[in-house]
Amino acid sequence: MTGKDMSLAGNSSQILYDHIRRVLLDAPMVHANFKVGRLIVEDEQHGETRAEYGKETLIHFSKRLTLEFGRGYSRQNLQNMKQFYLCFQNCHTLSGKLSWSHYILLMRLDDEQARKDTLKEVETLQIKYSPDADALIIRLREGKSVYSVDLAEGIIAHYSKDKKILEIEILDASTVVQMSELNVSLKGAQAVVVT
């Protein structure tokens, strides 16, 4: 690279850093990480999967972002953000039910269809509590239940014809699950209280 090329690359890096900074200040974590990945791929790498000088750029951004925002911006995590964008190029398909850690695990699936199927199953997750029956029902996937199995006293699993668990029913739920703990864990799932 010539001196002029390095100056342009440095200027481009500053512009990209400023974009990343704004995204991190304005978006929830998963969407921010998606947008950072998109900025790295589209702005810095011009849409290419790899950039000629990408490793140094990620190290540079990692240091600056860590100084400004704290942990979570290692070179590896920025690489994960880039991979996140490449795996899920439509941010509208992202699930609000999954954390950044969940997406890192999903990205390890090489098969795009397997990722889509897993996301679809996550979207069907529902947790319902019926105070009248004192039953907690965790719906894992859609389908018709053809048989049930008692897993333990007061815990019943309902299965589909292809032997997949559709839902788990917990009887006398208020004695098994502390409702204050349940409210915290429901943040990632669609929760319904049936009265």
pLDDT digits (tens, 9 = 90+) for 67-104: 888 888 888 999 999 999 988 887 777 777 777 887 88
Average pLDDT score over residue span 25-47: 77
Contact (Cβ atoms closer than 8 angstroms) between residue 88 and residue 81: no
Give the pLDDT confidence score for residue 6 in this predicted structure: 39
Half-sphere CA count of 17, side-chain side, radius 13 A: 20
Q: What separation, in Å, do the N-terminal and C-terminal C-alpha atoms of the chain show?
A: 69
State how far the Cα of 138 lies from the Cα of 38, in Å rounded to an integer.
35
State how far the Cα of 163 lies from the Cα of 183, in Å rounded to an integer.
30
> Average pLDDT, whole number, for the chain?
75
Please determine, for residue 27, whether its predicted confidence score (pLDDT) is greater than 70: no
Give the pLDDT confidence score for residue 3 in this predicted structure: 41
Backbone torsions φ then ψ of 170, nearest 5 degrees: -115, 115
Average pLDDT score over residue span 12-34: 70
Give the pLDDT confidence score for residue 4 in this predicted structure: 40
Least-confidence region, from 5-9, 151-155, 179-183, 188-192: 5-9
State how far the Cα of 32 lies from the Cα of 73, in Å rounded to an integer.
12
Q: Which two tokens stand for residue 69?
A: 């925002």
Q: Read off the pTM.
A: 0.58
Give the pLDDT confidence score for residue 184 in this predicted structure: 41
State how far the Cα of 131 lies from the Cα of 93, in Å rounded to an integer.
34
What residue segments make up the domains of the chain, in order of their start?
3-116, 125-193
Q: How confident is the model at residue 149 (pLDDT cuts 50, 70, 90)?
A: very high
Please determine, for residue 12, whether its predicted confidence score (pLDDT) is greater than 70: no
Q: Which two tokens stand for residue 157?
A: 């699993």
Average pLDDT score over residue span 15-35: 71
Considering 40-49, 54-63, 158-167, 180-189, the range whose residues carry the highest mean pLDDT is 158-167
